[in-house]
Structure 1
Amino acid sequence: MNFSFSDEQELLRKNTARFLEKNLKPYVRDIDAKGEIPVEFFRNAGENGIISPLIKQKYGGPSLSFMDSVIISEEIARVDTSMATSVYYLLNTSWAYVLQKYGKQELKDKLLPEIASGSQFIGIASTEPSGGSDVANITTSGTVKNGKIIINGEKMYISGALEAKNNGGGHLTLVKTDQEKGHKGITMVYVPASAKGIEITKLENMGRMGISTAGIKYNNVEVPEENIIGEINEGFYYSMDGFNHARIMVAAACNGLSEKMLEEGLGYIKERKAFGKSLSDFQAISFEAADLKTEIEMASLLNYKAAYLADVDNPEFYIYSSMSKLKSPQIAMDTVKKVMMWFGAYGYTKDSGIEMSARGIFSYLVGAEGALNIMKMIIAKAILK
């Protein structure tokens, strides 16, 4: 059992960190304050193969592995600790993977090169106003007629809707094509944000300000039948495949953030003096740091295993990706909280940047590819079957 990265992966991490230091770090505060990631970043990231790294070379991508993608995700979260860029990356990586795996050739030839270059966004539209976890009970309808699929309904809390509308792209959208069959009547369709009949309403979040969250209404939206992903009524299974893989990217971002926050915290407690000693000399703080370091290491190793199992196509990888999604956001939130408390009043100010991280990481706790209790349900079902 080898716990080391290859020379190529170490170089990938180093080059990614260098690229992000130059092309993303200078804009992080503006991303949080102004609510927008610079379009130029996506183009530059595409040129460097780190915006959607699973896309194959024949479509203009770098053909990287899930483990490689985890490395990139960790590095992005270390630089943009608001988590906005991490969400954008997660969506473009995971749902381009689903399009590449199940989409029709014509659609793949059209979209994947644009996504790989950073010119277009791709995300997932599954959550509805009535809830997000119970995908089987969506009500948005899709009717196949005269070579088109006509969509009516509403999605809610959809990430990247405005980016897709303003910069180009769309979402893999789940619709009911057979109302009587429950989850076996769901179809996945690629719907560009520019399609006639789409109405987008921005929602205001507490954090990760650089990527939009919105409601999307579909009023007799027509897209070509070629935009149907895979087979009709198989969309539920495609979406579950996507979510299972996306959870690896979520956990990686959380782990990258945890590492960065702990690094900053350790630097602070070694320098800050109180009662004639460094804060790190107090066991109450040093023991807390020891616990955090151990938990972050555990979370990272667990997620590396999930990525490895995904790369070798092990059918049980989804259990480990669910475990990672269960633990990594909680550890990240705990790390941010404790580091903020080490910093004291300064940690609570916007100058420190820690509060920005606290607002961002909360989105991974409340949802983002599955709520924590849903992860427990998946794991329990797997180990009890």
Structure 2
Amino acid sequence: MKNFFEKRYIQVILLLAMFVLGYFIGQTNNDSLGQIKLNHTESPEWQLKTEELKKEVDMSLFWDTWQLLEEKYVDSNELDEQDMIYGAIKGMVNSLNDPYSLFMTPEETMQFLQDMEGSFEGIGAEVGIRGGVLTIIAPLRGMPAEKAGLRAGDKVIKVDETLTADLTLDQAVRLIRGPRGTQVVLTVVRTDNGLDTHEIIITRAKIDIPSVEWEIKQGNIAYISLSQFSEDTEKEFKKISKNIINSNANKIILDLRNNPGGYLNVAIDLAGYFLPKDYLVVTEDYGGKTENLEHKTSGKGELQNYDIVILINQGSASASEILAGAIQEHRGVKLIGKKTFGKGSVQELSSLKNDSALRVTVAKWLLPSGINIHEQGIDPDIEIEITPDDYDKNKDPQLEKAINILQSMDK
């Protein structure tokens, strides 16, 4: 653990599991949801600022409250001073009202890092807080959540018998996750059914899925399904691109639906397959505190001459929005489906004492045109709803429309 944090200023892009917007409830978690920078807070400059802050900030109210708790709380002998400190810090960070900024205790930090390293057990979905409500961002393809009928956009009002209204995101995640073979009941409200509630019973399992798959459709259309941007995605995509080039395909459908994000650098690498070298993919805007950082393609553009359409929906977030937005703006390709989630912020992860950590939003990312889609999302060029009847009949009108558009290009 300590060795991990001793790598100063290493940039990693995570699909923020356990403690970000997108808690992957059972899945390798490497989010983007923004760029994460590991950072220490023990520099001489920081120590000087800390000393100055101590002189300026009146902490007497904090200590008065602490003393009253020790003196008057009925079970004062059970008070854990370390937990009280952690609780106070969590409250301070929560006061930002930013679901992407979070203080993590040593135990939570360790769990977060372990989740990044491999698969684990759960339902296979990403959740976040949207409009103050626990919301399904993306059920992962082929995972228990999707198989049980959970959909992107579902509002979770109960986990088993616990109401979610007063739960923090991490509290809700802890209730939903669990050992394989056990069950959890989610009570959800589905917007396309008014205010009707549904109880969805999900059997937890080990979550381990390929991040990219492909197949040939209609003889000449390469259908690429990207479920997340993991460490191995670029390596897998490189093999797939060679297979596509050596196939009869001359058109591509890039499916980014229910892709909650992943490593930002992987999204940039993949953009380099569809765009020429040195094309701007995304800009990190630090709000004037430091110089903006531009990320450009460095690939060979192996697939840039293929006709392409991109599928998106409300489960497409962060790195998938970056890739879709960059290709659309540079090549004018059609986006088909529903509006994306709208996650476009950058977090910095700083190590603190005793292996605790702080993640805080430090910047927002912009599309090549300069548009910030945070909490706005990207609108599709062609909006198509998948209705409950479509789900029941296993129909995919969004994919059908993409195929029709590409086929019409031959006429």
TM-score normalised by L of structure 1:
0.28
Q: Specify the structure having the higher radius of gyration (Cα).
A: 2
TM-score normalised by L of structure 2:
0.27
Which structure dedicates a bigger proportion of its chain to strand? Answer: 2
Which structure dedicates a bigger proportion of its chain to helix? Answer: 1
